[in-house]
Amino acid sequence: MEGITKRFGPVLANDRVTLAVRRGTVHALLGENGAGKTTLMNILFGLHAPDEGRVLLRGRPVEIRSTREAIRRRIGMIHQQFTLVPPLTVAENIVLGLPPRRGVFLDLRRVEREIESLSRAYGLDVDPRLPVWALPVGMQQRVEILKALYRRADLLILDEPTSVLTPAESEALFAIIRRLVAEGHSVVFISHKLEEVMRISDTITVLRHGRVVDTVRTADTTPAELARMMVGRDVVLRLFKGPPRAGGPALEVDDLHAVGDRGLPALRGVTFTVARGEILGIAGVDGNGQAELAEVIAGLRRPTAGRIRIDGRDVATPAGRRAVADRLAYIPADRGRFGVILDFTIAENLALKAFHRPPFSRGPVLDRSRIIDHARALAERFDIRMNSVLQPVRQLSGGNQQKVVLAREMSGEPVLIVAVQPSRGLDVGASEYVLRTILEQRDRGAGVLYISMELDEVLGLSDRVAVLYGGEIMGIVRPGDARLEDISLMMAGSLRTAQTAAPAQ
């Protein structure tokens, strides 16, 4: 692929990306979520047309306008979401969409035999007669691989294949990938997990914000170098920041454990403290427990063990949680899901957390004129650009939606602010505004837990930085004191510092 550029509206998903996959190798595409990995592969698989650039297969330029054409050119893609029909058998799923073999009849018997021998040849161990619903996720993935092989694919694209697998299933998948490559197939392996990529790939291309950072041979690189490439050094943040005046603890987290959405451990014994008046940044590669940490502290996910104290109060019980609700501000990564209700008006969204209390309610009755006055005041203070506070939030730009979240969460003079990538998807001006607001809150005396995948943002904004890897804290350092190399090593899980920087007094 040469000079591939793809835009979605104003978003540049791929920017002059060049990628060469050698026959018989595993080529990893590494990058954070939204770096443009899947988009690039969707172009190769005929799901998107590139705006610029060209695709060459076996040295010859081709135009792949549809998946059908991609398959004909012997490309196979296994998506994160499987495209199987659960009530049908493995064999039926595999021949689905292919022309019948004998006149108008499916010769399923023969297909089953063919699949069995194919399955044996690659060590896939799939019974073609079983219905797909009865198979575990790892097996369903193998059916997808078989489907591509049955269509004679020799370039296989695996989009984050391990994200749905248990560790044991991942091991089995790696064995299959090695077998595929040994048989002369080529594999593109999309991932944001460093250790996986180090283990399975021959070549690694790192994508960041839609651009190729570098392509390296796996043997010549280290996880730390990859981590640094992924999180980059290209955001220059100019924020005036005075020294912190740390006070008493705003947040104390002690030996916290939690599981992720798929029931696997996401946090394993996390301990730290955020003082009032300081910003503790959480650095790390995406998917190392950041989302779970934020959700547990915000009360949206139940911890499996450990203690959380906010402003000195244990929040394990619903009563404890309610007691601190007003002093906790949460700025979620996914504002459309957690931060605002898109179909509600700006006024309603600004009253979301306190609608049932005075001044917004008198007894059971909402005081709508108070709600509207409050919204107008906040909209002015936080400079929310809108036509009217009675507009649905959906009609606002991303930056202004985020201002609605900020306005609501900051107006209560919180003791603790949990912010997860609050500047994501915003333009430079809006990002700066968001970060400036957070700094102001720190200077007012709020403790801030700042979680971001952008290392520069974390280093630039935070007073102390904790590095999260595999659900554990690898060390807590002061951005000025720590060497970038060490932070990279911690992000890659290969360094753990014993000392913990204490909050500045």
Q: List contacts with other proteins (CB under 8 A).
A: 298-300, 322, 325, 330, 332, 337-345, 347-348, 352-353, 355-356, 361, 364-366, 368-369, 371-373, 387-390, 392
Task: Name the minimum Å distance from CB 350 to other proteins.
Answer: 12
Shortest spacing between CB 406 and other proteins, in angstroms: 15
Under 8 Å CB-to-CB from 104, ≥6 apart: which residues? none
Checking DSSP bridges between strand 249-259 and strand 265-275, what pairing results, if any? antiparallel
Question: What's the closest the beta carbon of residue 418 comes to other proteins, in angstroms?
Answer: 11
Q: Which is closer to other proteins, CB of 389 or CB of 466?
A: 389
Q: Tell me the two tokens of residue 301.
A: 């996910």
Residue (300 or 484) nearer to other proteins, CB: 300
The CB density around residue 95, as the number of other CB atoms within 10 Å, is 23
152-161: b (≥16 Cβ within 10 Å) or e: ebbbbbbbbb
Q: Which is nearer to other proteins, 115 or 324 (CB)?
A: 324
Q: What is the smallest separation between the CB atom of 396 and other proteins, expressed in angstroms? A: 13
Closest separation in Å from C-beta 77 to other proteins? 26
Task: Select 48 or 408, whichever has its Cβ closest to other proteins.
Answer: 408
- Least Å from the CB of residue 391 to other proteins: 9
**Residues 27/186, Cβ–Cβ less than 8 Å:** yes
Residue 102 or 337 having the CB closest to other proteins: 337
* Residue 421 beta carbon to other proteins: minimum distance, rounded to whole angstroms: 16
Of 234 and 334, the one with the shorter C-beta distance to other proteins is: 334
Q: How far is the CB of 405 from other proteins (least distance, A)?
A: 10
Q: Considering beta carbons, is residue 339 or 471 the nearer one to other proteins? A: 339
How far, in whole angstroms, is CA 176 from its chain's centroid? 26
Taking CA atoms, 151 is separated from 69, 114, 216, 240, in Å, by 12, 12, 31, 59
Q: Closest approach of Cβ 318 to other proteins, in Å?
A: 9
Rank residues 207 and 346 by Cβ distance to other proteins and give the closer one. 346
Least CB distance to other proteins at residue 319 (A): 12
Work out the number of other CB atoms within 10 angstroms of the CB of residue 290: 23
Give which of 352, 411, 335 is closest to 377, Cα–Cα: 411
CB of 115 to other proteins, least distance (A): 33
Give which of 385, 393, 390, 384 is closest to 437, Cα–Cα. 384
The smaller minimum CB distance to other proteins, of residues 33 and 391, is found at: 391
Shortest CB 8 distance to other proteins, Å: 17
DSSP 162: G
155: part of which helix (H) or strand (E)? strand 155-159
The answer to whether the bond into 359 is cis (omega within 30° of 0) is: yes
Torsion of Cα atoms, 485 then 486 then 490 then 491, to 10°:
-30
CB neighbour list of residue 67: distance below 8 Å, 6 or more residues apart: 45, 46, 47, 77
The DSSP output letter for 183 is T
- Identify which of residues 110 and 322 has a Cβ nearer to other proteins in the complex: 322
| Least CB distance to other proteins at residue 303 (A) | 16
Tally DSSP H helices, then E strands, for the chain. Answer: 16, 22
Q: At 241, is the secondary structure helix, strand, or coil? A: coil
Q: Which run of H or of E encompasses 490?
A: helix 484-491
| Closer residue to other proteins (CB): 99 or 318 | 318
Q: Closer to other proteins at the Cβ: 189 or 360?
A: 360
Q: Which C-beta is closer to other proteins: that of 55 or that of 407? A: 407
Assess contact for 406 and 437: CB atoms under 8 A.
yes
* Contact assessment for residue 471 and residue 465, using Cβ atoms and an 8 Å cutoff: no
* Separation between Cα atoms, residue 505 and residue 499, nearest integer Å: 18
Helix, strand, coil in percent for the chain, rounding step 5 = 35, 25, 40
DSSP conformation letters of 323-375: HHGGGEEEE-S-IIIII--TTSBHHHHHTTTTTTSTTTEETTEE-HHHHHHHH
